[in-house]
Amino acid sequence: MIRNVELFERACRTIPGGVNSPVRAFRSVGGTPPFIERANGAYVWDADQKQYIDYVGSWGPAILGHAHPEVVKAVQEAAVNGLSFGAPTEAEIELAELLVHRLPSIEQVRLVSSGTEATMSAIRLARGYTGRAKIIKFEGCYHGHADSLLVKAGSGLLTFGNPTSAGVPPEFTAHTLVLDYNDVAGVEAAFEKYGDEIACVIVEPVAGNMNLVQPVPGFLQALRDQCTRFGAVLIFDEVMTGFRVGPQGVQGRTGIVPDLTTLAKVIGGGMPIGAFGGRRDIMAHIAPLGGVYQAGTLSGNPVAVAAGLTTLRLIGQPGFYERLEAQTGKLVAGLRAAAASAGVAFSADHVGGMFGLYFRDAVPASLAEVSAGDTAAFNKFFHAALARGVNFAPSAFEAGFVSIAHDDDIIARTVAVAGEAFAELNP
């Protein structure tokens, strides 16, 4: 850890907290984050040349494993032809066509450069389309860092939210209703009270930002029904789940069709990209066709599009998701068994290539239940695993990601390490 520590101290002098995105700083688990020098397949190496089996996967994009040779080649070839034009290209049509083809709910799509831009723009579009101001989001879902989304539930039932970040005036969150995930009655009550003022509901259809939390049966259908009944736009934020939980995201797994979908992460194969798309009649309200403004200097960036296109082609091969889900299932089953034999209160869940680890007896269904887990035990487990060369997400409130490069041997080694880590919790 010598060089990592030096680098962290050096980083802290010029970069706030030493990181360019807060969860990287290890604030919740404590200690110094490894500085990554390179990554390949299921592995990352830090500045001290220590190798880790990686379950962060750049927080989702690395579904093929890191630095897949075909993706790297596509990026190199695109780069030679110019890094950015600020003008339309054929490759971005191909990416749009591929997204429209793979996700039936998307009739038109606009590319942006991050998930935050995608959700921010989708919400503006929903408001412009409906002419309404209010939006519904759910406690524990993260949709990027746009002002009106950095919000927690207000003090009373069905009151508008309070900012969770300094620098966000309460007026900016005054139109955001924050409800409990999986609470159908709460959604119905909100629509009963404010139905004709609600522009949209935005939801992570499988939540991955409060650890992994699945929707209970009927929850997503209730959102669909209420939005249809009251003329609100249903936005599935599939930035994390899109092409991660299956070939058509959560919408493919459940058959529930959103009006708009936001994407990022996997569709960029590790390069900065995001997208929002959906019904043609709604997308027609975006500039230059309509009055809802949205733009980006680097939108549809040719290098990012090349990485995304190649990634999407590779994951479109037959059997890809069956194998990804099987590997994730083996990991989760192995971890459960290891915890049980160490006598640690533990549960785990997975959907496609994403998983959740919980230091509690039962899989949680809400932020409150996730928060009731034993965070201190997680933090100890995390460091015991990290020291042994397994890199889980550095927070009890994050999901984990398996790539197609995580073979049986890698998973068996992970489970062996986890066994030792669980044993440390219960000596």
Applying CB under 6 A, the residues found at the interface with ligand PMP are 59, 114-116, 119, 142-144, 204, 208-209, 237, 239-240, 264, 274
In the bound state with ligand PMP, the residue whose beta carbon lies nearer, of 112 and 187, is: 112
Range 91-97 contact pairs with CB under 8 angstroms and sequence separation of 24 or more: 91/302, 91/305, 91/306, 91/309, 92/300, 92/302, 92/305, 94/305, 94/309, 95/267, 95/300, 95/305, 95/308, 95/309, 95/312
The least distance separating ligand PMP from the CB of residue 243, rounded to whole angstroms, comes to: 13
The least distance separating ligand PMP from the CB of residue 419, rounded to whole angstroms, comes to: 30
The least distance separating ligand PMP from the CB of residue 145, rounded to whole angstroms, comes to: 7
139, amino acid identity: E
The least distance separating ligand PMP from the CB of residue 99, rounded to whole angstroms, comes to: 16
User: Which residue of the set 142, 181, 321, 358 is catalytic?
Assistant: 142
Give the residue at shortest CB distance from ligand PMP: 115
In the bound state with ligand PMP, the residue whose beta carbon lies nearer, of 66 and 143, is: 143
272 and 113 Cβ atoms separated by less than 8 Å = yes
In the bound state with ligand PMP, the residue whose beta carbon lies nearer, of 265 and 330, is: 265
CB atoms within 10 A of CB 259: 24
Q: What is the DSSP letter of 65?
A: -
User: Which residue of the set 134, 137, 265, 330 is catalytic?
Assistant: 265
The least distance separating ligand PMP from the CB of residue 209, rounded to whole angstroms, comes to: 5
CA quadruple 418, 424, 426, 427: dihedral sign: positive
The least distance separating ligand PMP from the CB of residue 80, rounded to whole angstroms, comes to: 27
In the bound state with ligand PMP, the residue whose beta carbon lies nearer, of 114 and 251, is: 114
d(CA 334, CA 2): 33
In the bound state with ligand PMP, the residue whose beta carbon lies nearer, of 207 and 377, is: 207
Who's near 319: CB < 8 A, 6+ residues apart?
none
The least distance separating ligand PMP from the CB of residue 148, rounded to whole angstroms, comes to: 14
User: Which residue of the set 46, 54, 183, 237 is catalytic?
Assistant: 237
Which strands make up the sheet holding 36-40, listed edge to edge? 36-40, 43-46, 51-54, 390-391
Strands 233-237 and 198-203: parallel
In the bound state with ligand PMP, the residue whose beta carbon lies nearer, of 369 and 398, is: 398
CB atoms within 10 A of CB 377: 18
In the bound state with ligand PMP, the residue whose beta carbon lies nearer, of 115 and 302, is: 115
Q: Clarify whether 196 is annotated catalytic.
A: no
Which of 255, 243, 237, 236 is closest to 99 using CA atoms? 243
262 and 303 Cβ atoms separated by less than 8 Å = no
Q: What is the DSSP letter of 182?
A: T
Q: Clarify whether 55 is annotated catalytic.
A: no
Q: Clarify whether 265 is annotated catalytic.
A: yes
Name the residues annotated as catalytic: 142, 237, 265
